[in-house]
Amino acid sequence: MTLQLTDTDAAWLEGAYGDAGAMAMRILVSMAEVYGADRLLDIESAHIDGCLYHGPSGLDFAERLVAGGGTVRVPTSLNVGALDLVHPGRVHGKAEDRARAKRLMDAYLAMGCRSTWTCAPYQTGHRPGFGAQVAWAESNAIVFANSVLGARTERYGDFIDICAAITGRAPAVGLHLDENRRGQVLFRLVGIPEHLLRDPVLGPVLGYLVGRAARSRIPVIEGLPRETTEDTLKALGAAAASSGAVALFHAVGITPEAPSLAAAFGDQEPDEIIEVDRERLRETLGALSTVPSSSTLEPNRGDTAGHGADAGHPIHVVALGSPHFSVDELAAFVPLVERFPPQPDVEVYVCTNRIVLEIARARGWLEILELAGVTMVADTCVVVTPIVRRATGVLMTNSGKFAHYTPGNLGLDVLFGSLEECARSAHAGHVWRDPGLWQDEAPRGHNA
């Protein structure tokens, strides 16, 4: 297949739109040829991940674009940077690196990107419509845009994201095209207790399982309740994009391209059908933790010896908010903190964006959280930049994505739990397990 460029594309290459425009188009054309695209297509919006500092070369790239007059042509939000600009001093690390991280963030602002600094742009008002062609980076944002919004983006990453934003063009390949969006693997939920189906803890655990089994195929999930919340879908997608290369999933009866099972598969048969029961979910729980007593969970040992075998294990850090916490997630956390304030020697972090932070301030939540010793992090998150003070020990989280990246990025052990388990463990200083969460019947007082 030969790439056909329009006259306008060719004018970009010739420098009619400035040096940065020519460079952005050269990179796009080179990548379109690598992927075997036959054309470029227009995009309506972009989400940029290149603003997170990884080293001097990323700064060289961004500053070259700024020097060449690079300006985005479509509404463009920014993913997290390596600094918390709202709370100076929150991020440690070398002053030289912090200065470069700031220069990188400034370079992207200079190109006209919005100062959203969030991995959940879709919860700050950046919500492309159904069928919209967009160029988004950051794996959880990609999977949310494709799956929950029904927008269309390939898996963009550093460098090519801003090239698409500057030119308003992207290679017409992959998930931009109808024929590549049909489901391939069916995950059928069977025999999962009703209270668990409605608990937010299901999202990351099911997502992690789906990502591991689907790898880069498109999963279809059947059996989620119609009332499944956006935050559960967000957590599911983020976990699936961490454990696998999932960029699009369909949830039958919930996501816009899956009004029915047949529609999700484009009237074709699944390549594979995987039944997901409670035991498979409990096996996945083990994979989300690195502390031995929980990672050696065996599915057939029975309820009492499975989930909860790590109860009492000391914990040192609790990290929430990957993807960034929404207003609803914070609303669920605040009353837990009021009832179960954390031990002073447990570091508790909530990562979110500026908009949610302002809403929390207006509602009086920030005061409650800060008084209880909870550290709010904005514009960035604890697994991409040095914020956590502990160098060893155990971090507990309700995020599948944090659970996946914590051991490699922070060198801490990790334990996965529900939001309530995280809050009450921080209160106790050691792991507290909800005894009925993974049982057949919800326990007394369970609020599911």
> For other proteins, which is the closer residue by CB, 35 or 303?
35
Between residues 61 and 132, which has the closer beta carbon with respect to other proteins?
61
Least separation in angstroms between residue 408's CB and other proteins is 6
Residue (155 or 181) nearer to other proteins, CB: 155
Tell me how far, at minimum, the Cβ of 160 lies from other proteins, in Å. Answer: 6
Q: Are 352 and 333 in contact (CB under 8 A)?
A: no
Residue number with CB closer to other proteins (107 or 356): 107
Exposed/middle/buried for residue 362 (C-beta within 10 Å: 0-12, 13-18, 19+):
exposed
CB of 173 to other proteins, least distance (A): 9
- Shortest separation between residue 59's beta carbon and other proteins, angstroms: 10
* Structural tokens at position 320: 């929430």
Least separation in angstroms between residue 174's CB and other proteins is: 9
Q: Give the interface with other proteins as residue ranges (CB under 8 A).
A: 2-5, 10, 13-15, 22-23, 26-27, 29-31, 33-35, 49, 54-58, 60-61, 64, 137, 139, 155-160, 408
Backbone angles phi, psi at 141, to 5 degrees: -70, -35
The burial class, CB within 10 Å (0-12 / 13-18 / 19+), for 293 is: middle
Closest CB 27 distance from other proteins, rounded Å = 5
Identify which of residues 31 and 318 has a Cβ nearer to other proteins in the complex: 31
Cβ 30 to other proteins shortest distance, Å: 5
CB of 113 to other proteins, least distance (A): 18
Return d(Cα 167, Cα 170) in angstroms, integer: 8
- Smallest gap from Cβ 92 to other proteins, in A, equals 21
Q: How many residues does the chain have?
A: 448
> 344 or 408: whose CB is closer to other proteins?
408
- Matching residue, tokens 């035991």: 279
Degrees, nearest 5: CA angle 281-200-225: 80
Of 164 and 201, the one with the shorter C-beta distance to other proteins is 164
- With beta carbons less than 8 A apart as the criterion, state whether 352 and 382 touch: no
Nearer to other proteins, 153 or 255 (CB): 153
Residue 30 or 71 having the CB closest to other proteins: 30
How far is it, in rounded angstroms, from Cα 306 to Cα 407?
22
Closest CA to 104 of 69, 134, 79, 129: 79
- Rounded to a whole number of angstroms, the minimum distance from the CB of residue 163 to other proteins is 9
- Tell me which residue of 214, 171, 206 sits closest to 39, measured CA to CA: 171
| Least CB distance to other proteins at residue 437 (A) | 32
**Closer to other proteins at the Cβ: 228 or 322?**
322
Distance CA 425, CA 402 (A): 17
- Residue found under tokens 């790439």: 3
Closest CA to 145 of 233, 265, 78, 31: 233
Nearer residue to other proteins within complex by CB, 119 or 419: 119
